[in-house]
Amino acid sequence: MKVSTTIAEVRSQVKEWKRQGLSVGLVPTMGYLHEGHQSLIARAARENDRVVVSVFVNPIQFGPSEDLESYPRDFERDCTLCEKTGADLVFHPEASEMYAENFCTYVDMDRLTKGLCGASRPVHFRGVCTVVSKLFHIVTPDRAYFGQKDAQQLAVIKRMVRDLSMDVEIVGCPIIREPDGLAKSSRNTYLSPQERRAAVVLSQALAEGRKALAEGERSAQAITGIIRGVLESEPLAQPEYVELVDWETLEPVETADRPVLAAIAVRIGTTRLIDNFVFEEGPECN
Amino acid sequence: MKVSTTIAEVRSQVKEWKRQGLSVGLVPTMGYLHEGHQSLIARAARENDRVVVSVFVNPIQFGPSEDLESYPRDFERDCTLCEKTGADLVFHPEASEMYAENFCTYVDMDRLTKGLCGASRPVHFRGVCTVVSKLFHIVTPDRAYFGQKDAQQLAVIKRMVRDLSMDVEIVGCPIIREPDGLAKSSRNTYLSPQERRAAVVLSQALAEGRKALAEGERSAQAITGIIRGVLESEPLAQPEYVELVDWETLEPVETADRPVLAAIAVRIGTTRLIDNFVFEEGPECN
């Protein structure tokens, strides 16, 4: 497995692979990899001849009061995990390699990004779209893998690819959870032992919401009420949002009469956690 | 020469060419082609194995009070000119092919686009960057050709390509002029015979500015004063801006001590015309 820190080196390696007719999968990450990322890399390795993992804590997707500085990093461990999971190239650039002096071009969206996490993180998805665009231009992957855990991000990237006619297949992958149900996240490391125990309330609350849907409840107000009720039973949990939205447009729905995303963001102490599920009639997609 | 109206068809043709190891040049246009466009197509044909010309009056780069509806169109004549100049494929999509329902993703820039034409055309460069991004994703050209006539557009596209790590060489090509000096433009067709005679004042004014620079004048105020003086001698000419800016950042300069762009926008009657020149010490680039 190769580690590259420059755009030029990645581009040259990928061009060599493409000349050989090999397909390329990309897994964009911010590092501090866990089993969630690992499942993306493993799937990319199954579906492509070569796999590139980017490990880059992207400064422009953090707001001024967010956790850019404290975001956990362990590049050596990341490399070990990438190698054993089947990655061929890890792209690990400095911020100055990605954002040259006087950088001023952004990819942004005037829908899909205003609600849910976008409401409290106004520059977040602009930063995500911009860095993912750059990674697509650098790696020119046939397929790119994103976790369903960041459901809004997945919907936004799919829309960006459609709108900007990018020639890449976006593959959404299921949420990987701890044994007690907590969705895997690099930010789980921020939790104290007591907070870690409390954090299970996110998946528990969503399970109740999903149960109501499965039993035929279709009112968004009823379903979000059920989810909110469970969250409020945990004193350490402060819900930021609890929403039921159209899974394609991310617009709030009143009735779950099409594929819907139930998404929540909750503060446990100072740590902001998110979780979600997608529900559609027939076989469920998550 | 082939004409395609769908993204899928263009993509498939270009992939076939790439499989054969052929290089591809792209000339993005809004049609109603003149000798300026022709010079871009001819250069693209000299420098690439295959040439794609896009003919698309891009609605999102026009403001609500601008000339989208009246913009001149003559697709049959455009095709004749493309074919005889060496194009291999003309991409002529409907607006609905480029902008699907609920289109909401844009490429934009928070510098370079605020001054000059951007001051009176606030959505223009967002529309240009977005459509050019799409065309790059669809055609994946090795080189793309833009006229120096739209100098701000050329600087903006170069910056977009750098910032978003797009793998395409941007080739700027000299302004093509009528015998009396008027820069070729599809919008010249709007001019009455009297206005057409008056319009020569743009190139005359710039020639005086360039002469002052060549003779050693370096004060931006003095140079723009000279240009403005000539423009004001023509009663039909209403200057919108007369500026001397850094040719890379497009920031106004006080002193022409680096490569500079002298750019003007002038209304002749209701028609808005632009012209410019780039000046640098040593061999001039335009």
Of the candidates B150, B117, B130, the one whose C-alpha atom is nearest the C-alpha of residue B60 is B130
Residue B10, min C-alpha distance to chain A (Å): 12
The pLDDT, as a whole number, for residue B210 is: 98
Size of interface A-B (CB pairs under 8 A): 76
Model confidence at B29: pLDDT above 60: yes
**Looking at the structure, do residues B36 and B130 belong to the same domain, yes or no?**
yes
* Catalytically active residues of A, by annotation: 37
Of A102, A164, A167, nearest to B249 by CB-CB distance is A102
- Domain membership flag for residue A39: yes
Q: Is the pLDDT of residue A282 over 90?
A: no
Q: Are both B16 and B158 inside the same structural domain?
A: yes
Task: Mark which of A121, A152, A173 sits at the end of a domain.
Answer: A173
Do A121 and A6 have their domain in common? yes
Q: How confident is residue A279, by pLDDT bands cut at 50, 70 and 90?
A: very high
Between chains, do B159 and A104 touch, taking CB under 8 Å as contact? Answer: yes
Statement to judge: residues A166 and A24 lie in one domain? yes
Pick the range with the lowest mean pLDDT from A39-43, A151-155, A282-286, B215-219. A282-286
In a domain, B117, yes or no: yes
Find out whether B94 and B6 touch, Cβ atoms under 8 Å: no
Span B80-95, mean pLDDT? 98
Nearest to B264 by CA among B209, B211, B222: B209
Could you tell me the residue range of the domain that residue A108 belongs to? 2-173
Residues of A with Cβ-Cβ distance to B137 under 8 angstroms: 164-167
B104 → closest Cβ in A100, A105, A111: A111
Q: Is the pTM of this model over 0.90?
A: yes
Q: Give every CB contact of residue B267 below 8 A, 6+ residues apart in sequence.
A: B237, B238, B239, B240, B273
B143 to chain A, closest Cα gap in Å: 15
Query: Hey, are the CB atoms on B108 and A105 less than 8 Å from each other?
Result: yes
Determine, yes or no, domain membership for B282.
no
A130 inside domain? yes
Q: Are residues B150 and B64 in the same domain?
A: yes
**Residue range B130-142: mean pLDDT, rounded:** 98
- Inter-chain CB proximity B165 and A130 less than 8 Å: no
Mutation to test the B interface, candidates A10, A18, A58, A105, most B Cβ within 10 Å: A105
Rg, C-alpha atoms of chain B: 19
* Minimal Cβ distance to B165: which of A111, A137, A163: A137
pLDDT band at A269; cut points 50, 70, 90? very high
Please give the pLDDT value at position B233: 98
Within this chain, do residues B6 and B80 fall inside the same structural domain, yes or no?
Answer: yes
**Mean pLDDT over all residues of chain A?**
96
User: Do B131 and B207 reside in the same domain of the chain?
Assistant: no
Q: What is the pLDDT of residue B286?
A: 47
pLDDT at residue A286 greater than cutoff 50: no
The domain boundary residue, chosen from B173, B198, B222: B173
CATH at residue B100? 3.40.50.620
Which CATH number is A231's domain given?
3.30.1300.10
User: Does residue A203 lie within any of the structural domains?
Assistant: yes
Q: Is the ipTM of this complex over 0.90?
A: yes
CB B219 within 8 A of CB B255: yes
Please tell me whether residues A68 and A151 are part of one structural domain: yes
pLDDT at B37 over 70: yes
Tell me the pLDDT tens digit for each residue of B195-247.
Answer: 999 999 999 999 999 999 999 999 999 999 999 999 999 999 999 999 999 99
What confidence score (pLDDT) does residue B281 get? 80
SS3 content of chain B, % helix, strand, coil (to 5): 40, 25, 35
Q: pLDDT class for A129, splitting at 50, 70, 90?
A: very high
Are B145 and B32 part of one and the same domain?
yes
Using alpha carbons only, how large is chain A's radius of gyration in Å? 19
* Domain match, B34 and B148 both: yes
Can you say which residues of A are annotated as belonging to the binding site?
Answer: 30-37, 61, 147-150, 153, 176, 184-187
Q: Residue A167: closest CA among chain B residues belongs to which residue?
A: B137
Domain end residue (candidates: B173, B197, B230)? B173
Kindly tell me if the per-residue pLDDT of A284 is higher than 80: no
**Min Cα–Cα distance to chain B from A148, Å:** 21
Task: List residues forming the annotated binding site of A for beta-alanine.
Answer: 61
Tally of structural domains, chain A: 2
Please tell me whether residues B138 and B48 are part of one structural domain.
yes
The answer to whether residue B266 sits within a structural domain is yes
Annotated catalytic residue B137: no
- Determine, yes or no, domain membership for A179: no
